[in-house]
């Protein structure tokens, strides 16, 4: 089932398992798919999905695109900003068990749900704070940073500020990779993000994920050419990520001056 079908099921309440203590958040399930649904008259959204038959494999294509970044080099340290129910953590424990992972999630109740209802791996290092505050005080340099901090479909204000990208910059190794999930409503939303980002990072690849509103940005301090991107997606495909079709969708933005 695609996201639109899951939204229709959620709105009908036919798939409802329970209403959580988090405002406007429900758990739904249909066959092997289980998900968090953010219900609101003006902004309903599927927040996170797990396939109970394959819990370590993320369901959404944008997650596959983001996770491909761990196959670019041989990362040792990764930071996940916006853990939600732990889709990235489940995958990485299975495929990259040697990685040291720092996870960040602002909602303590969501962390608890991830542990009780979404098979979050044990012994994780989880910071219960905002991505912004974590980066501002962080002293570690990571090889990979994953950033998915949307609430529903609203663009967080921090993604439109140069300060956020400066904090990302000091938290990533020179050869490191950052993957950011975006849900822009229009061209202006995209520009509001890209303009401050490009003041800090010179190199970006953009992947417009088919059949949804998600756009994934792969950003770095060092240039990444087409051969590197192609090889990375091909390697990710060998590790249970559906990324082969993304090779033709990846667009290299002009280098920022």
Would you list the domain boundaries of the chain?
3-51, 61-252
3-state secondary structure of 37: strand
Residues 173-183 have a mean pLDDT of 96
Q: What is the mean pLDDT of residues 233-255?
A: 96
Q: Please report which helix (H) or strand (E) contains residue 4, including its range.
A: helix 3-12
| C-alpha pair distances (Å), 81 with each of 26, 28, 84, 211 | 22, 24, 9, 24
As a whole-number percent, the residues of the chain with pLDDT over 90 amount to 88
pLDDT over 80 (residue 155) = yes
Checking if the pLDDT of 152 tops 70, the result is no
CATH classification code of 61-252: 3.40.50.150
User: H-helix or E-strand containing 234?
Assistant: helix 226-237
Instruction: Identify the pLDDT of residue 194.
Output: 97
Whether 118 and 34 have beta carbons less than 8 Å apart is answered as: yes
Dihedral of alpha carbons 96, 101, 104, 108, sign: positive
Q: Tell me what pLDDT residue 243 has.
A: 96
- Does position 43 have pLDDT exceeding 80, yes or no? no
Q: Is the dihedral of CA 239, 240, 244, 249 positive or negative?
A: negative
Q: Which two tokens stand for residue 21?
A: 């203590």
| Sign of torsion over alpha carbons 109, 115, 118, 121 | positive
Is 80 exceeded by the pLDDT of residue 257? no
- Of the candidates 177, 151, 147, 213, the one whose C-alpha atom is nearest the C-alpha of residue 75 is 177
**Does pLDDT of 134 surpass 90?**
yes
- What is the value of pTM for the model shown? 0.96
pLDDT at residue 212 above 90?
Answer: no
**What is the three-class DSSP state of 84?**
coil
Distance from CA of residue 224 to its chain's centroid?
20
Q: Is the pLDDT of residue 171 over 70?
A: yes
Compute the average pLDDT of residues 93-110: 96
Q: How large is the average pLDDT for residues 169-190?
A: 96
What DSSP character marks residue 72?
A: S
- Could you tell me the two tokens for 112? 């608890």
Structure tokens that stand for 80 in this block: 């996940």
36: burial class by Cβ within 10 Å (0-12, 13-18, 19+)? buried
3-state secondary structure of 123: coil
């Amino acid at each position: 089932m695609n996201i639109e079908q899951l939204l229709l099921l959620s709105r009908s309440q036919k798939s409802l398992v329970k209403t959580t203590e988090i405002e406007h958040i429900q758990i739904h399930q249909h066959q092997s798919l289980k998900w968090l649904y953010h219900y609101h008259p003006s902004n309903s959204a599927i927040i996170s999905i797990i396939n109970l038959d394959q819990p370590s494999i993320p369901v959404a294509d944008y997650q596959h695109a983001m996770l491909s970044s761990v196959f670019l080099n041989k990362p040792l340290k990764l930071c996940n900003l916006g853990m939600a129910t732990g889709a990235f953590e489940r995958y990485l424990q299975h495929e990259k068990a040697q990685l040291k992972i720092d996870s960040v999630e602002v909602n303590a109740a969501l962390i608890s749900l991830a542990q009780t209802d979404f098979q979050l791996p044990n012994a994780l290092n989880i910071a219960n704070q905002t991505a912004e505050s974590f980066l501002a005080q962080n002293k570690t340099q990571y090889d990979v940073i994953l950033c998915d901090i949307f609430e529903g479909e609203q663009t967080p204000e921090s993604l439109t500020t140069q300060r956020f990208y400066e904090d990302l910059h000091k938290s990533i190794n020179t050869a490191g990779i950052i993957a950011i999930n975006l849900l822009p409503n229009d061209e202006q939303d995209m520009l509001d993000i890209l303009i401050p980002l490009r003041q800090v990072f010179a190199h970006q690849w953009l992947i417009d994920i088919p059949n949804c509103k998600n756009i994934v940005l792969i950003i770095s301090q060092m240039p990444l050419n087409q051969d590197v991107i192609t090889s990375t997606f091909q390697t990710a495909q060998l590790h249970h990520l559906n990324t082969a079709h993304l090779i033709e969708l990846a667009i290299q933005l002009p280098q920022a001056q």
